[in-house]
Amino acid sequence: MRIVLAEDHALLRAGLTQLLEAKGFEVVAAVDNLADLEQALADPAAEAAVVDVRMPPTFTDEGLRAAIDVRGRRPGFPVLVLSQYVEQLYARELLASGEGAVGYLLKDRVSDVGEFVEALHRVADGGTVLDPSVVAAVLERRKDTPVDRLTEREREVLALMAEGRANAGIAQALVVTEKAVAKHINSIFAKLDLPADTDDHRRVRAVLEWLRF
């Protein structure tokens, strides 16, 4: 898979490039500013992007805005945001399209190379991988929505789904059986009025429906 990497810190950019290429990705562009990022994302050869939020020239929200723009032009274009910050407004906008293939991880919590690579593969395959802090920030929402039908336990399950965890991982985190997790997930699908589809697709739709409000 051909990846665009946007990171303004030279050592981290070089390290991520080396890591991605060692794991079988092709880094077609490794850039450190908004103008170069926009140019790289305009290349139809690019298949996914790993971007920082704050980059030159203003060090505010350049990376996120570029990610939102490319997904506007190429719906479902896989983007993994890797940042020190949670930008609530733009994070909500990034998730609002409901297409999946999006991740938002905080740098200081990415301590395992395998988990990072797995997260990128999950996003590239159309899934979601969201840091719990991102979920908490986005979930400042209005009331009286379909999501309010969910029980507290179902919301816990959905939060772990948003992190990209499979049923086994959710069961381990909540200290319950996988059978119990599957039951909760089926209840979530029903309460969110998600029609029958592949389970993977419904999981993504359930997470995005939850975060949309």
Domain with 198 in it: what CATH number? 1.10.10.10
Average pLDDT over residues 30-41: 94
End position of a domain, from candidates 116, 138, 160: 138
20 shares its domain with 118: yes
Amino acid at 24: G
The pLDDT, as a whole number, for residue 176 is 92
116 shares its domain with 48: yes
Convert the pLDDT of each residue in 107-145 to its tens digit.
Answer: 887 778 888 999 999 999 988 888 888 877 776 655 556
CATH of the domain at 95: 3.40.50.2300
132 shares its domain with 177: no
Segments of 19-95 assigned E as strands: 26-31, 48-51, 79-83
86 shares its domain with 32: yes
153 shares its domain with 121: no
End position of a domain, from candidates 82, 114, 138: 138
100 vs 98, higher pLDDT: 100
Q: Domain of 207?
A: 146-212
The three-class DSSP label of residue 188 is helix
41 shares its domain with 68: yes
The H-or-E segment that residue 104 falls in is strand 102-106
Domains of the chain: total = 2
13 shares its domain with 93: yes
Report the percentage of the chain scoring pLDDT > 90.
40
Are the C-beta atoms of 92 and 64 separated by less than 8 Å? no
Give just the sign of the alpha carbon dihedral 187, 204, 147, 74: negative
Report the percentage of the chain scoring pLDDT > 70.
92
Cα–Cα distance between 78 and 123 in angstroms, integer? 6
- C-alpha neighbours within 13 Å on the C-beta side of residue 33: 5
The pLDDT, as a whole number, for residue 205 is 76
116 shares its domain with 165: no
64 shares its domain with 11: yes
Convert the pLDDT of each residue in 197-213 to its tens digit.
Answer: 656 677 877 777 777 65
Cα–Cα distance between 125 and 31 in angstroms, integer? 24
Average model confidence (pLDDT) across the chain: 86
Q: What is the pTM of this model?
A: 0.74
Convert the pLDDT of each residue in 143-155 to its tens digit.
Answer: 556 677 888 899 8
95 shares its domain with 111: yes
CA distances to 29, 39, 46, 98, 151 from 130, in Å: 24, 27, 22, 14, 21
Radius of gyration in angstroms for the set of CA atoms belonging to the chain, rounded to a whole number = 17
89 vs 163, higher pLDDT: 163
End position of a domain, from candidates 138, 171, 203: 138
The pLDDT, as a whole number, for residue 191 is 84
